[in-house]
Structure 1
């Protein structure tokens, strides 16, 4: 019993400390849109114990109920660390009889002897529908609209439909547009299923993540109030100029509609409802995509479209010989971040530069792809001196001014001290070499007398014979051959590009095995990532292209330059495009599509391996 009270006391002590350390958050929430006469909730929440709650003036509303008070708390212990959450809630149920826009001023509350104010709310009250033959339909969020009674189950097209809205219908290549699919209904929706959305051919498509707990919201469209909910939202980047079609979509909706008949049950009369299925479709839309203008386009433009900034940093300005130093390039902004290429940097020839490490941090929103793309080069200077890392230019097409803009990075000076040979290590090496010529006798050390070596050799009966000279020639030739082979091996290993070229097929096969495992597990995302790594990795190794230069245009030029057939080149580019589209766009028949892509990728590598000499 004592243990029980002790644990309870300890828990209360820990939780009170955790709550006290939290930042006070006092917020107000309510529906943005309501209909005249509709009841809705006004909720105030605070994350710490509080008192002296004072609501704002609500005289413009009818207060149906409130304020009611509730408390909730939870505790977690993870890896020995205790965390706690607490919520104090004040709830009102309101209604309003006149349409218009209403402001609810902040409420006030006291937490730890300090006063806090909530946020201001804006409520848009819509006029009711002017239909007489209607009943009320209420969604799970408590909102209601007029629901036309249909005894025969027929549903008018203007009572239930899916609307496809497109943010822009005329854009430039790589300029983002947003496509939203929203359901409009005046009926109770039982289920939404069998949704088929376009594959967005010709676009680089990304699905925008919607809130997990979505609710219907009232929206007035063409003078009628509807319950609406967003089904899907996509961010699209057109990949070519011309007219690109967005195919139709299809959604099946199951409705619960009244029949205008009543039945008597145990608790009295109740209204009969029937379920009706209806398939809703959106029309095909055409997007006009304009080619990027040539006026103002420079050679430094690599396809970046949007609004960007560039930051570069050098980790050190002075180092020793063989000491690593890093150069970071960070591109931030809003645009086609996932597709843009990095500017080329011309490093000093006397500096060893490794393949860059890439770090991406993106978020896909209705405003576009927002985030950063970071590239880090590791450099090792092998000689002393003063080196200059020249500036580079990052050019992009600005979608606000619709003009090309250029950002020039700063020039860096790197001072390298020391020599290319480490004198300490050299001294040790010489010392070890000399020690091989000494022997230990007791506690004394003396050099071996090498003058008697030839005398002993001459005493051998083999010395000077034909057998001796024959063996001498054979072993000399073998030794020379071994030296040549060793030099060739060292040269090949030193030529990293040649090693990568020879092992390109082996590396690709390893990635194909990993992709096949993902295929068996039906892990679509991991599968396409591995296929892309296999294809791009093979081309990078085989064509000796760095990550910066690994573009489709460069791949096409390099393959044609080494006499790969035009058909094979086009097949390679087509597979890359299809794989990118499948990776980022929704597809139907996922299993079949993955198997087909797996076969195409292997066939492509096989053809390239046969044709590249």
Structure 2
């Protein structure tokens, strides 16, 4: 009996071990006719007895299978773990164009069969340059080999060896309609690095699609050559005006690895040189134009510029409150389009309510169709009187790109019950119609008879009356002069503290990702500091006036230029493409350093 139980336990353990074994195929996605590739079958155990694979259609087996084993041992918090793998590698040569399916392999593990998955390989025609024969395990572009020789300097890299294209998803669009702009690299050489950004575009609002993932090359056959291609950057453009808008050409700087034909093989062997070198090459993407159509007219009342496809919903919480307590009306606009540019819906409440500006929460992501997701608008409403009130439906009008017509959406109407609260204002009675008293702001007009009595002698026309005029004028002038001097001195003294508070607020906005409020607060810190420290009204803050005033305080020219650069960076960074958080951090650091250095320079002058 004991032997039987032991045998059953061993069989169960073997079955469980076999059930956990996996066999995966690893192969390149593309190859050329005549190119050599490696196909690997990887098992997550070394206890593999044998492997069986069918034929490889479209390929010739050069060698295989070769086997290799690997194992690892780890210890974490006193617990040990051991893993091992076995890899079977086949070396193949592509012999036929087309898409070919690599067969599944079968292995034996503890007497049980384990089957792998399959994979497909796209085989392209042999390149006209004949640069096949490289390893197909990756999608890295290779140095081109042609009749001019193996190695090429930057001057030898032709316009068809390395170039950049630009394509727009649409060339005829409406104002505010999203357009996807794609820059794509084509290369026959080994590109090591590429750098370049589009300039600030006139007439467009620009958002960059997330391009943080690593760029990977894919083969495309163009003009008899198999190019390594990759999407370099993608931008979503929103045209801001009608007409023909031009996107200028963009120059990219690349670093290309080429063979060093002047290198001595003996020097290379003994560490005195290299068979390859990196050269610089500039490539230019051509310009393109978009035809932007104006939105149809007449535009309906209530249209605030939203273009795309949207839906709206509304809610009111709570539905039962007391007078002078706050209720929240929440509107959620969802869909896709120019959501980052549209205005908040207009809300109309009964006159008994006090309505505040909405708090906006952006929950959108940038996609090829524009911003997609939803925006939440929270309106705080405070009722001043008791009663049951009807909240009318909120309308939202937008231009629908699918139907090419204006659409008006409406939320459900709502009601709210307001109970009498403490200190509630009341509606006045007693024949004084339409007069509403809020607290003790407005009092009733006194009615009925009055009792007047004659006073003493009048002061008008007396000697004291005429002497009081020059004395009062003198006191007023002295007070104004003293107040101006104290205000100017106090403003200059507290300029640094005020700018510091504004930068602190800007830092908090930066951490929350509030881009537009961040740049506005940094701009207020820079301009406000100059106005307070230099004793200038805000209306006189211009580049020339600020530069002259700083020169009068013996501020170095380099520091004046740094201040001007910080102001310019704050003006244009919010519209420039790129990583918003990195740009905000750069602007914040530049403004903070500039204000600190200016404060030190002006104090030193005193």
Tell me the TM-score normalised to structure 2 length: 0.58
| Contact 2:35 2:136 (8 Å CA) reproduced | no
| RMSD (Å), alpha carbons | 5.4
Paired residues of 1:187 and 1:255 also in contact (CA < 8 A)? yes
Partner of 2:56: 59
Shift of 1:158: 0.6
Task: Work out whether residues 173 and 289 of structure 1, in 8 Å CA contact, stay in contact via their aligned partners in 2.
Answer: yes
User: C-alpha separation between the residues in 1 aligned to 2:522 and 2:332?
Assistant: 26
User: Could you tell me how far 1:355 is from its partner in structure 2?
Assistant: 2.9
Task: Tell me which residue corresponds to 1:246.
Answer: 247
Distance 1:517 1:333, change over 3 A: closer
1:446-502 CA-to-partner distances (Å, cap 9, x unmatched) read xxxxxxxxxxxxxxxxxxxxxxxxxxxxxxxxxxxxxxxxxxxxxxxxxxxxxxxxx
1:293 aligns with 2:296: yes
The offset of 1:171, in angstroms, is: 1.3
- Residue of structure 1 equivalent to 2:573: 582
Partner of 2:282: 279
Question: Aligned in 2, Cα 1:352/1:239: closer, same or farther, shift over 3 Å?
Answer: same
1:129 to 127, 130, 144: 127
Q: 2:388 aligns with which of 386, 400, 405?
A: 386
Instruction: Determine the structure 2 residue equivalent to 1:212.
Output: 213
Q: CA deviation at 1:156?
A: 1.6
- Match of 1:391, SS state, is coil
**2:518 corresponds to:** 530
After superposition, the Cα gap between the structure-2 partners of 1:30 and 1:201, relative to the gap in structure 1 and judged at 3 Å, is farther
Taking a change above 3 Å as real, the CA distance of residues 51 and 354 of structure 1, as seen in their structure-2 partners, is farther
SS in 2 for 1:305: strand
> What is the TM-score normalised by the length of structure 1?
0.57
**2:187–2:228 Cα contact (<8 Å) kept:** yes
Q: 1:368 aligns with which of 358, 361, 370?
A: 370
Q: Following the alignment from structure 2 to structure 1, what is the Cα–Cα distance between the partners of residues 349 and 279? A: 69
CA contact 1:352–1:380 (8 Å) conserved in 2: yes
Match for residue 231 of structure 1?
Answer: 232
Would the alpha carbon gap of residues 379 and 529 (structure 1) be closer, same or farther in structure 2, given more than 3 Å must change? closer
Q: Is the 8 A contact 2:99 2:122 kept in 1?
A: yes
Residue 514 of structure 1 corresponds to 502
What is the match of residue 176 of structure 2? 174
Shift of 1:266: 8.6
CA distance 1:311–1:517, change in 2 (3 Å): closer
Q: Aligned partners of 2:193, 2:387: CA distance in 1, in Å?
A: 72
Q: How does 1:97-246 map to 2 (within 5 A)?
A: 97-103=95-101, 123-131=121-129, 141-143=138-140, 146-148=144-146, 149-150=148-149, 153=153, 154-193=156-195, 195-246=196-247
Distance 2:275 2:390 in 1: 83
Q: In structure 2, do the counterparts of structure 1 residues 282 and 340 end up closer, same or farther at CA, with 3 Å as the change threshold?
A: same
The 3-state SS of whatever aligns with 2:574 is: helix
- In structure 2, relative to structure 1, the CA distance for the partners of 1:516 and 1:409 (3 Å cut) is closer
Matches of 1:529 and 1:180, distance apart in 2:
30
**Match of 1:371, SS?**
strand
Q: Which runs of structure 2 are paired with 1:24-63 in the superposition (5 Å)?
A: 31-39=28-36, 59-60=56-57
Query: Taking structure 1 as reference, are residues 274 and 580 closer, same or farther at Cα in structure 2, changes over 3 Å only?
Result: closer
Distance 1:232 1:585 in 2: 14
Say which SS state the counterpart of residue 145 (structure 2) adopts.
strand
How has the CA–CA distance of structure 1 residues 511 and 245 changed in structure 2, closer, same or farther, with 3 Å as cutoff?
farther
Is the partner of 1:531 in helix, strand or coil? helix
C-alpha distance after superposition, 1:111-132 (max 9, x if no partner) = xxxx999987554322121235
Is the Cα contact below 8 Å between 1:529 and 1:583 reproduced in 2?
Answer: no
Structure 1: distance between partners of 2:255 and 2:172:
35
* Structure 2 CA distance for aligned equivalents of residues 402 and 87 of structure 1: 61
Q: Distance in 2 between matches of 1:324 and 1:54?
A: 73
Residue of 330, 353, 356 corresponding to 2:355:
353
Q: Following the alignment from structure 1 to structure 2, what is the Cα–Cα distance between the partners of residues 398 and 181?
A: 28
Structure 2 counterpart SS, 1:147: coil
Q: Is the 8 A contact 1:190 1:255 kept in 2?
A: yes
The answer on whether the counterparts of 1:242 and 1:289 sit within 8 Å (CA) in structure 2 is yes
Residue number among 297, 315, 318 corresponding to 1:316 in the alignment? 318
Question: Structure 2: 5+ residue runs without aligned partners?
Answer: 1-20, 425-493, 526-538, 540-566, 592-606
**Structure 1 residues 152 and 322: alpha-carbon distance in aligned structure 2, compared to 1, 3 A threshold:** closer
Q: Is the 8 A contact 2:163 2:185 kept in 1?
A: yes
Change (3 A) 1:278 1:155: same
Asked whether the equivalents of residues 511 and 533 of structure 1 are also in contact (C-alpha less than 8 Å), the reply is no
The verdict on how the C-alpha distance between 1:72 and 1:419 changes in structure 2, with shifts beyond 3 A counting, is: farther
Q: Provide the rounded CA distance (Å) in 2 between the counterparts of 1:26 and 1:313.
A: 54
1:582 positional shift: 3.1
Residue 422 of structure 2 is matched in structure 1 by 421
Structure 1: distance between partners of 2:397 and 2:114: 48
Matched, 1:256 2:247: no
- Displacement of 1:390: 0.8
Closer/same/farther in 2, CA of residues 54 and 272 from structure 1, 3 Å limit: closer
Distance 1:48 1:385 in 2: 76
| Alignment size in residue pairs | 439
Q: Are the equivalent residues in 2 in contact too, given 1:516–1:527 (CA < 8 A)?
A: no
Q: Which one of the candidate residues 402, 412, 415 is aligned to 2:414?
A: 412
